[in-house]
Amino acid sequence: MLREAGLVAALGVVELALILGLGAMRRDMGDMGHSPYLMWRVGSLAVLAGIACTVAIRSFAPTARPRRGVLFACALAVVAIVGGMFVAPVGLSGQTLLQRLDPVHGIICAGSIFVLSLPVVAMLGMLMRRAAPTQPKLSAIASGIAAGTVGALVFAFCCPFNDPLYVVVWYSIGCAAVAGAARWRLPRRFRL
């Protein structure tokens, strides 16, 4: 399990290094690096990614019961979302809901998270196929959640938006799309 976790972590680090090497890091990262908002976003995603990847990798064992782990990861995501209510930057109160959500950029963010998650989904799918999960559908969902949170964590260093509502909505849509795609695609090998 440690080797598999190391592979997933290494892939996430390489992906982040490539994205940052291409100059995609948000321009104000030096100024925002110590803001409670950015610490909430990156910290929450890092914890979620670590736990979700652990749940996914553990779910590949034949004796695993991944339901509790998946529910725990979802509950932790809810706690992180609630935490976002306490770190909202000043200046958001005068904006309308549509301005805060900014759908045009939001769709780009969700799509970017989906694309950044694909290598992690592929690696977890490969690990899943080499293992013997007895509940492949739940393992696939766990893998999708894990890949989605890793993709969101990588994207958090690029995303220029500071509104927690924006992050909660569009990052959740991106992660849900990854989980849905993983649930649809990964368990096919295990069908009877």
Those residues with Cβ within 8 angstroms of residue 135's Cβ, 6 or more apart along the chain or in another chain:
59, 64, 65, 66, 67
Whether 21 maps to a domain, the answer reads: yes
Half-sphere exposure of residue 12: CA atoms within 13 angstroms, side-chain side: 26
Closest CA to 143 of 1, 6, 8, 3: 8
Lowest mean pLDDT among 7-21, 86-100, 174-188: 86-100
Distance CA 129, CA 33 (A): 39
Residue 1: burial class (beta carbons within 10 Å; 0-12, 13-18, 19+): exposed
Those residues with Cβ within 8 angstroms of residue 41's Cβ, 6 or more apart along the chain or in another chain:
84, 156, 164, 167
The tens digit of pLDDT for each residue in 149-182 reads: 999 999 998 888 888 889 999 999 999 999 999 9
Q: What is the pLDDT of residue 180?
A: 93
What is the domain extent for residue 154?
2-88+98-190
pLDDT at residue 121 tops 80:
yes
Distance CA 50, CA 52 (A): 6
Whether 25 maps to a domain, the answer reads: yes
Whether 93 maps to a domain, the answer reads: no
Model confidence at 2, pLDDT cuts 50, 70, 90, reads confident
Tokens of residue 126, six digits: 């490969």
Q: What is the pLDDT of residue 104?
A: 92
Q: What is the pLDDT of residue 33?
A: 66
Distance CA 178, CA 61 (A): 22
Q: Give me the number of domains the chain comprises.
A: 1
Q: What is the pLDDT of residue 192?
A: 37
Whether 183 maps to a domain, the answer reads: yes
Q: What is the pLDDT of residue 98?
A: 86
141-158 in b/e form (b: 16+ CB < 10 A) is bbbbbbbbbbbbbbbbbb
Whether 111 maps to a domain, the answer reads: yes
Residue 175: burial class (beta carbons within 10 Å; 0-12, 13-18, 19+): buried
For residue 26, give the DSSP letter.
-
Q: What is the pLDDT of residue 191?
A: 47
Whether 126 maps to a domain, the answer reads: yes
